[in-house]
Amino acid sequence: MPGDRPTIPADPGRPGAAGRPEHGRPNPDGRPAAGGRSDSAGYPELAGRAVLVVGVGVSGAAAARTLLARGAQVRVVDAGDDERRRAAADRLRELGATVDLGGLPTAPDGAALVVTSPGVPPTSPLITASAAAGVPVWGEVELAWRLRGAADWLAITGTNGKTTTTEMLGAILTAGGLRATTAGNIGTPIVEAVEADPPYEALAVELSSFQLHYTERLVPLAATVLNVAPDHLDWHGGADAYAAAKGRIWSAAETIAIGNADDPASQRLLANAPGRRVLFGRNLPGQGITVDNGRLVDHEFGGGRIVAVSDLRVAGDHMISNALAATALARARGVAPEAIAAALTGFRAGAHRNVEVAVVDGVRWVDDSKATNPHAAAASLAGYPSVVWIAGGLNKGLRFDDLVREARGVLRGVVLIGTCADEIAAALVRHAPDVPLERAAGMDDAVKAAASLARQGDTVLLAPAAASMDMFRDYAARGDQFAEAVHAREG
């Protein structure tokens, strides 16, 4: 019934273009010009309303806690039922939520609003039934945006490099003297970050395609699409839908759209961005955010020369691109070039992202377990001249032909693991038939086989080009087992 659903107001906190000067600096007090903090008084429809939250994981639990604090009647559901979920359910029940595990309903069951975790696909019976009934379906990100406080959102999406760029940006914002944090797909759940007391001034927000799919009114101050390559096609239903989800980050004319000149797909999306458009790229003479004469330079926001590339502690063209994107976002917020330089020269990539594990008998062992798709693996392989490649895992509906074709010139040998080993092997037969190939049942065997193929000066690179869940808890566990096996040989 219509009376059972919330009437969504006109979003009084949505920033307008008039509230920002040309380069995207906020008003002097750091708050959006046309709004500010919204709370339950500004959203009375939440108090007493029935809200269905899907998922008891990090984002779902955070959304449930926020809704409970605002007086909503919260029911939480989750398809799983294990020890971790039962513990999370008990904590939410103590706060007043009703929690059901072990399956999802097929209809909203009288809920006025559905807040879904990002892993639930739009084809789920619950989501389609909610849409058919006219019940709003939000993600945690959309909920956070509507309840947001004073912080400016600087948003990052892309197939690869999101986490590294978000961490870079968080370090830059802090170095610039702002109270800031990373949030969204990493760090603090975004719905908790907007509730922080004292409030944050700026948020570095990583957004996945899943999260963006469930947004409606999101208006970051500035946002970037780092790159787009086929990924998560099973969830989105195709490459076009996946790319369109990424492009939602630039939906608002008030958002400064920062696109990658080195990535054709990012440029195609940028052409449709309604707001101010800014380019970053490794070779943009005299324009955008780029590299000139070995230095990161800001030609767009008046920052000039920022830092020498040789002073950065990150390797590879893809890492330079991440630094350029983070710089562009920070300059859009008005962070001083000196603060950007200080943060970037001190920055190191996170675990399982092209991390050197050891050097044994002249062979480097590198963990890039975070390379969970062919696009990421290609960028990783391009950074080394001679590689014994450990690859394979759980494929996400992607092809490996382009990856193998591009990488064959650097491959000393290949060791395959996981359920998609046959698919990668077939691509190797088609495009690199002379490269030695070994199969391994597990990570210990893979490391042993790689050691037999490697020669002094080679790099043994774990860049799986696939997800990990067929053999490991997650990509971090996969990388940890790789490091343990390498250290065992070293010892």
Catalytic residue numbers read 162, 185, 232
DSSP annotation string for 46-57: STT-EEEEE--S
Name 416's bridge partners: 391, 439
Task: Return left, alpha or beta for 314; rule: phi > 0 is left, psi -120 to 50 is alpha, else beta.
Answer: beta
In this structure, what token pair is assigned to residue 447?
Answer: 């490391």
Alpha carbon 359 to chain centroid distance? 30
Query: Which residue in the block uniquely carries the two structure tokens 């500035």?
Result: 222
Q: Output Rg (C-alpha) for the chain, integer angstroms.
A: 23
- Nearby residues of 275 by Cβ (< 8 Å), 6 or more positions away: 250, 252, 253, 254, 255, 256, 257
54 neighbors 22 (Cβ within 8 angstroms) = no
Q: In angstroms, rounded to a whole number, what is the distance separating the alpha carbons of residues 466 and 470?
A: 10
Q: In 10 A of CB 80, how many CB atoms?
A: 13
- Please tell me whether residue 438 adopts helix, strand or coil conformation: strand
Smallest Cα–Cα separation from 146: which of 283, 271, 12? Answer: 12
- Are the CB atoms for 150 and 85 separated by under 8 Å? no
CB 351 within 8 A of CB 163: no
CB neighbour list of residue 311: distance below 8 Å, 6 or more residues apart:
341, 344, 345
Distances from the Cα of 56 to the Cαs of 64, 123, 424, in angstroms? 9, 20, 35
The amino acid sitting at 303 is G
Q: Check if the beta carbon of residue 417 is closer than 8 Å to that of residue 390.
A: yes
